[in-house]
Chain A
C-alpha cells in the first residue's frame, strides 16, 4: 500500500494550478483533503502522474454567507462547516449531513468541494448539493463555468469537470424560511458509507398542504437521484403518514441499487422506502406538521 511514483505540485495561486492542469490534462489530479484520493493511490487504484495540491491557495479558503447562498471555497474543510453556526442556521440539511461523513479526523482534512468533485455515489455531500439545488463554480485557463448540481454529477467517481478544470467554489442556497428538512442514512456503523441515504425538504403552502417536496436518494445508483415524479405528486397533497408511505413506496419502486457484501439490491431498495418515509416525516415535522 505505497503510492506509485508521482510528482507533487504545490501551486501558490489558482492561476498556477490552472496552468498545471492545462499542461498535464488527464495526467493530473487535483488534491485537497486527500481523504479519498490518497487511499486510492496507496491501493494503486488511482495513479495520476501529477498531483496538483491546492491546499496552499489562500483564495480558495473562504466560507461566506452571501445572503441567498452560502459559498464554500474549494479547500474549506468539512469540519469547519460542521462547526459553523451560519451553516447550522442557513443550510441545516448540510449541517445535518456533515456528521455522517467518516470521523472527525477525516472531516478535519476532507473538503466540501473535494467530496463533490470525487462524486462517490454513496457519499453524503453530493446528495445535499442535489437536494438544495446547489451550484459549483469551476475554472480553467479557458474561463469559468457555473454548473448546477444536477448537471455536475455524471456517474460513480465521474463529474462533468473537464481534465483542465478545477472546482473552486460550492454555492449552497440558503433554506427557505419555513421549509423543513431531513437527512437520514442507514450505515452499518456511524461514519461508514451509507447503504442508503435520503436528503429531503418539505415546505407547506396555504391550508397546510405540501407546497414543495424534494427527495434525493443516494447510494442506490451511479449518482444521487432526485425523485422528481414523487416530488411532483406530493406537491399539493396533505402531509399525512399515508401520503408519505405511498410516496416512499413510489420512490423506491424503480430503483436499481447495487448488491454487495453488505446487502442485496432488494435490501437497499427496501431501505430506500423506509428511509424516504422517515425523512419526509421528519422534514414535514420540522415544517410544522403536527406529529
Chain B
C-alpha cells in the first residue's frame, strides 16, 4: 500500500474503513441494542405449496417471556397488502400480472421458508422456544418447481387471483432478423441453462424497528444497500408517512444486490414494532437466509443463431425463461430479467439483428433477487454461443471472438439498442489476454498433457459493463436509479465533509470519494470525512449503492462538487486577502498567494469567517462553504474486458482446479487500484462458486436442498487461485470523469470463461457444456467416465 502523495487518485490508498472493520469494531445491525428492545423470529413453512387451514399460537403466546405472536390474520389487520414494484411503477409493466400479498402467509404458503407467524420475545432464545409450540395445519398442494411446471395449465396457480403462473411475457426485436437468417451460411442452435444460486453476503438480513408513539416517528436500523428505499416502499404498507421514517445503516456486511429490496420480513417487523410501541430486532440466521433471503439466476434460453461461414453472428433469435419463485421482490421484481437478458445479449459484438421472446414464471421457490450483474445470463449465453459456433465451424474460439467483437471507432458505432460503443477496448483486452496466456502455444501443451492422462483446457470470454455506460442519443433524464447528488462542506475545524447517498457495504466509498475530493479540492486525504447511512442527512435515492454506479456517478458528483467548493473557497479567500483569485492556490488545506506562501489562510480560518464573521465579507458574497451538486453521468463510457483461464479436470473424480486465471480489464481511470482489483477478484471468486460449487437446489417435490453451508458450498481460499489482473489503457470519453464501475464485471463474464475452459479440457470426450453449473458429479457424467457397476 502506498502513502498518499501529491495525487490521491490512482494511489493504492489503504482503506479508512479497514481498521474499524478488521478489529471487530464495525457496527452492524446486530451490534445495535436499543432500550426495551424485543427479539423477533419467524415461523416458516416447511412445505413448498399448501393451503393454510389453521394456525394455533395460543401455547406460544402463553410461554413466559413471549411478548406477542402475530399471524397472517394479525398482519392483514395491521398492514395493507401490496404489489411488488408499486413504487418503481414496475408492477404496471406491459403483459404483467401482479399479485398482491402480505408479509406473512394469510391463505397459502408458497415456498419452503414462507413466513407464517412472527414471534416477539424478550430474547431470541425464548422466541425460538416459542416457535416449537405453534401448531399449523397445512393442506399440501401440487408444487410448481420447474419451468415446465409453471407453464403447465394443469398445475394450480400459486396466486389464486391469477389464472396461471406466468408473471410477465415480453417480446423485443432489433434489426432485420429475417434478413440475417436469409443471409446465413449456417444456423447454430443451443439451449443453455443457468442454475439457481444466490448472493450470500456475510451479514444476513436484519433490522431493528423502533416506533415512538408520542412523536409518531419510526426509526429503522437496517442492513441495506438503499436506506431511502425503505422510506419509499414502507408507507403504503404500514401506514407511516415517508417524512416520519428515518433509516440508519452503518456498516453493512455485503449485499451483492440482495439488499436492494424491501422484504416481507421488513414490513412485518415494522408492523410489530408499531403495534407494540417498543423496538423489535430481527437478525436473520443463516438457515433462514439460505432458504428465503433470495435466490437468483434461474434462467434458460433457446438460442438460434444465423452465422456466416467464417463464424460471424449475423442474427440471433432467443426465447428466454426466468424462474422467479413465488413472491416478486420489491421494488424491482426479478421479472425485469425477462427484458434485460435480451437487451444485454449483444455485448461487444457486431450482431446485426436480435429478436427475443421471454417469460418470467412463478414457482414455489424463494424470491428471485438481483445478484451482482443481474443480466449476467446474457453474457453467459453470448460467450457460450461464440464457443459453440467456433466448435461447430472448426474455428479457433479466439478467432471467432476477433471476428465478432467490435473494433473501436469502426462501424457499427452503436449497439442494436442504440447505445454507442464509445471507447470500447474489448479487442485490445482480447489480444492482451491471449498474449499473456500464451493462447497459441497452449494447444501443444494440451496435447502433451493428454498423453499423460491429464486434461487441461483454456477458456476466454469478454464483456461490457454498463455502469451506467453511455446514454442512447436523445435520452433525456436519468434512468430508474436517478442522478447522483453529493453535499460537500467545510466544517469549523477545516475538515471537509462529503455526504453521499451511496450506501457502502464493502466497496470502500469512505476511501475512494475522499481520494477524488482530495485531488480536486487541494485538501489532504486524511482531512476528508465521508458520511452516509442516515436518511436524515443523505440525499434521496431509491437505490443507494447498486449497479456498479458509484465509480462514475458518486465520484463524478464529488468531483464536480469539489471543483465548485474550491471556487467558493478561493473566492472567499480572495476577498479576505484582497488578492486576485487567479493568483491564489489551494493545497493541503491552505489557500495562499502563488509565490508568497506567507500570505495564506487555512480552511479552518476561512470556515470561521464564513460562519462567525460574515460582516468581513463584501456585500453579496456567498458566506457558506457548502455545495450540493447533482451529476447526470456526463459522457460516461463502458467498463469491459476479457477473462482467460486454464483449468485442469480430474476426469476420474470430476474435480476442477485452476492453473491460471488472467483478467484484462478497463474500468477507466482506477481511483484506487487495490479496491478495483478487490472488486474483480471477489466477482471471479463468486463465479468460480457458481460454476463449481453453489446451487440453490430444490428437489422435484419443491423441498429446498441447500439449507446450510454443508449443502450450499461457497468458494474458499483453497478453491480460488491467484487471479492476475491487468489493465488496458483507457480511452477517455468525458472531459472530467472517466472512472467507471467495476462491481459486476468479474461476476458476469467469469462463468463463461470457466465453463469454456472445462469444456475445452473435456473435448476428447465430446462434451458440450450447455449448463453453467458443473459440479464434479456432473463433470464425470458429461465426460462419460463414470464406471458401470
What is A's interface to B at a CB cutoff of 8 Å?
A: 1-5, 43-44, 186, 188-193, 195, 249, 252-253, 260-264, 266-267, 269-271, 273-274
Q: Report the Cα distance A56→B285, complex, angstroms.
A: 31
B-chain residues with CB within 8 Å of residue A267 when the two chains form the complex: 654, 776-777, 780-781, 786
Q: Report the Cα distance A3→B126, complex, angstroms.
A: 10
A-chain residues with CB within 8 Å of residue B581 when the two chains form the complex: none
Interchain CB contact under 8 A, B716 and A261: no
Chain A proximity mask over B109-146: 1 for CB below 8 Å, otherwise 0: 00000000000000011001100100000000000000
B710 within 8 A of A: yes
Could you say which of A189, A261, A264 contacts B711, with CB atoms under 8 Å apart?
A261
Interchain CB contact under 8 A, A189 and B129: no
Interchain CB contact under 8 A, A193 and B287: no
A-chain residues with CB within 8 Å of residue B287 when the two chains form the complex: 1, 43
Contacts known (A189-B719, A262-B775); A270 close to B286, Cβ less than 8 A: no
A/B pair count, beta carbons within 8 Å? 73
Chain B's closest residue to A103 (CB) is B716
A-chain residues with CB within 8 Å of residue B716 when the two chains form the complex: 189-191
Could you say which of A2, A188, A273 contacts B713, with CB atoms under 8 Å apart?
A188
A-chain residues with CB within 8 Å of residue B713 when the two chains form the complex: 188-189, 192
Interchain CB contact under 8 A, A188 and B653: no
Interchain CB contact under 8 A, B695 and A261: yes
Contacts known (A1-B285, A2-B124, A43-B287); A270 close to B129, Cβ less than 8 A: no
Q: Report the Cα distance A44→B129, complex, angstroms.
A: 10
Interchain CB contact under 8 A, B789 and A188: no
Q: Is the interface of A mostly helix, strand, loop or mixed?
A: loop
5 new A-B contacts, CB < 8 A, other than A4-B128, A43-B708, are A2-B125, A43-B287, A190-B716, A190-B719, A262-B777
B705 within 8 A of A: yes
Chain B's closest residue to A272 (CB) is B787
Could you say which of B129, B776, B781, B786 contacts A4, with CB atoms under 8 Å apart?
B129
Q: Report the Cα distance A260→B776, complex, angstroms.
A: 13
Contact residues, B671-720 vs A (CB, 8 A):
693, 695, 697, 705-706, 708, 710-711, 713, 715-716, 718-719
B-chain residues with CB within 8 Å of residue A266 when the two chains form the complex: 786, 789
Shortest Cβ distance from residue B644 to the other chain A in the assembled complex, whole angstroms? 24
Which 5 A-B pairs give the minimum distances between C-beta atoms? Answer: A263-B777, A190-B718, A1-B285, A267-B777, A2-B125
A selection of 19 A-B contacts at a CB cut-off of 8 Å is A2-B124, A2-B125, A2-B128, A44-B132, A188-B776, A189-B693, A189-B715, A191-B718, A192-B713, A195-B776, A253-B789, A261-B697, A261-B711, A262-B777, A263-B775, A263-B776, A263-B777, A264-B777, A274-B787
Q: Report the Cα distance A262→B709, complex, angstroms.
A: 12
B-chain residues with CB within 8 Å of residue A190 when the two chains form the complex: 716, 718-719
Chain A's closest residue to B787 (CB) is A270
A-chain residues with CB within 8 Å of residue B706 when the two chains form the complex: 261
Chain B's closest residue to A275 (CB) is B653
Chain B's closest residue to A188 (CB) is B713
Q: Report the Cα distance A186→B656, complex, angstroms.
A: 12
Q: Report the Cα distance A43→B286, complex, angstroms.
A: 10
B652 within 8 A of A: yes
Shortest Cβ distance from residue A112 to the other chain B in the assembled complex, whole angstroms? 22
Q: Report the Cα distance A139→B524, complex, angstroms.
A: 70
Q: Report the Cα distance A184→B368, complex, angstroms.
A: 39
Interchain CB contact under 8 A, B655 and A186: yes
B-chain residues with CB within 8 Å of residue A273 when the two chains form the complex: 787
Q: Report the Cα distance A150→B737, complex, angstroms.
A: 71
Q: Report the Cα distance A267→B776, complex, angstroms.
A: 9
Shortest Cβ distance from residue A57 to the other chain B in the assembled complex, whole angstroms? 28
Contacts known (A193-B710, A261-B706, A270-B787); A1 close to B125, Cβ less than 8 A: no
B-chain residues with CB within 8 Å of residue A271 when the two chains form the complex: 653
Q: Report the Cα distance A188→B654, complex, angstroms.
A: 10
Interchain CB contact under 8 A, A188 and B125: no
Shortest Cβ distance from residue A265 to the other chain B in the assembled complex, whole angstroms? 10
Q: Report the Cα distance A268→B780, complex, angstroms.
A: 11
Q: Report the Cα distance A262→B125, complex, angstroms.
A: 32
Q: Report the Cα distance A5→B126, complex, angstroms.
A: 9
Interchain CB contact under 8 A, A44 and B128: yes
B-chain residues with CB within 8 Å of residue A263 when the two chains form the complex: 775-777
Chain A's closest residue to B708 (CB) is A43
Contacts known (A189-B719, A262-B775, A263-B777); A5 close to B695, Cβ less than 8 A: no
B-chain residues with CB within 8 Å of residue A262 when the two chains form the complex: 711, 775, 777
A-chain residues with CB within 8 Å of residue B776 when the two chains form the complex: 186, 188, 195, 263, 267
Scoring B129, B654, B695 by chain A CB atoms within 10 A of each residue's CB, the highest score goes to: B654
Shortest Cβ distance from residue A71 to the other chain B in the assembled complex, whole angstroms? 32
Shortest Cβ distance from residue A166 to the other chain B in the assembled complex, whole angstroms? 28
Scoring A3, A253, A270 by chain B CB atoms within 10 A of each residue's CB, the highest score goes to: A270
Shortest Cβ distance from residue B20 to the other chain A in the assembled complex, whole angstroms? 23
B-chain residues with CB within 8 Å of residue A1 when the two chains form the complex: 128, 285-287
Scoring B124, B705, B715, B716 by chain A CB atoms within 10 A of each residue's CB, the highest score goes to: B716
B-chain residues with CB within 8 Å of residue A274 when the two chains form the complex: 652-653, 787
Shortest Cβ distance from residue B213 to the other chain A in the assembled complex, whole angstroms? 30
Q: Report the Cα distance A261→B712, complex, angstroms.
A: 9
Q: Report the Cα distance A253→B789, complex, angstroms.
A: 6
A-chain residues with CB within 8 Å of residue B710 when the two chains form the complex: 192-193
A-chain residues with CB within 8 Å of residue B781 when the two chains form the complex: 267
Q: Report the Cα distance A266→B711, complex, angstroms.
A: 19
Interchain CB contact under 8 A, B786 and A270: yes
B-chain residues with CB within 8 Å of residue A193 when the two chains form the complex: 710
Interchain CB contact under 8 A, A188 and B693: yes
Interchain CB contact under 8 A, B777 and A186: no
Q: Report the Cα distance A167→B254, complex, angstroms.
A: 43
Chain A proximity mask over B758-789: 1 for CB below 8 Å, otherwise 0: 00000000000000000111001100001101
Shortest Cβ distance from residue B121 to the other chain A in the assembled complex, whole angstroms? 11
A-chain residues with CB within 8 Å of residue B652 when the two chains form the complex: 274
Contact residues, B242-264 vs A (CB, 8 A):
none
Contacts known (A1-B287, A261-B697); A189 close to B128, Cβ less than 8 A: no
Shortest Cβ distance from residue A104 to the other chain B in the assembled complex, whole angstroms? 12
Q: Report the Cα distance A261→B129, complex, angstroms.
A: 30
Chain A's closest residue to B653 (CB) is A186
Q: Report the Cα distance A16→B286, complex, angstroms.
A: 37
Q: Report the Cα distance A4→B716, complex, angstroms.
A: 31
Shortest Cβ distance from residue B177 to the other chain A in the assembled complex, whole angstroms? 41
A-chain residues with CB within 8 Å of residue B125 when the two chains form the complex: 2-3, 5
Scoring B710, B719, B777 by chain A CB atoms within 10 A of each residue's CB, the highest score goes to: B777
A-chain residues with CB within 8 Å of residue B711 when the two chains form the complex: 260-262
Shortest Cβ distance from residue A154 to the other chain B in the assembled complex, whole angstroms? 23
Q: Report the Cα distance A274→B655, complex, angstroms.
A: 13
Could you say which of B285, B655, B705, B786 contacts A261, with CB atoms under 8 Å apart?
B705
B-chain residues with CB within 8 Å of residue A195 when the two chains form the complex: 776
Chain A proximity mask over B270-305: 1 for CB below 8 Å, otherwise 0: 000000000000000111000000000000000000
Shortest Cβ distance from residue A49 to the other chain B in the assembled complex, whole angstroms? 14
Shortest Cβ distance from residue B700 to the other chain A in the assembled complex, whole angstroms? 13
Interchain CB contact under 8 A, B718 and A189: yes
Q: Report the Cα distance A272→B77, complex, angstroms.
A: 58
A-chain residues with CB within 8 Å of residue B705 when the two chains form the complex: 260-261
Chain B's closest residue to A190 (CB) is B718
Q: Report the Cα distance A115→B43, complex, angstroms.
A: 33
Shortest Cβ distance from residue B702 to the other chain A in the assembled complex, whole angstroms? 15
Q: Report the Cα distance A193→B711, complex, angstroms.
A: 11
Scoring B129, B697, B710, B715 by chain A CB atoms within 10 A of each residue's CB, the highest score goes to: B710
B-chain residues with CB within 8 Å of residue A188 when the two chains form the complex: 693, 713, 775-776
A-chain residues with CB within 8 Å of residue B718 when the two chains form the complex: 189-191
Shortest Cβ distance from residue A7 to the other chain B in the assembled complex, whole angstroms? 14
Q: Report the Cα distance A5→B63, complex, angstroms.
A: 13
Q: Report the Cα distance A260→B775, complex, angstroms.
A: 13
Contact residues, B153-193 vs A (CB, 8 A):
none
Interchain CB contact under 8 A, A5 and B693: no
Shortest Cβ distance from residue A188 to the other chain B in the assembled complex, whole angstroms? 5
Shortest Cβ distance from residue B481 to the other chain A in the assembled complex, whole angstroms? 35
Could you say which of B129, B693, B719, B789 contacts A269, with CB atoms under 8 Å apart?
B789
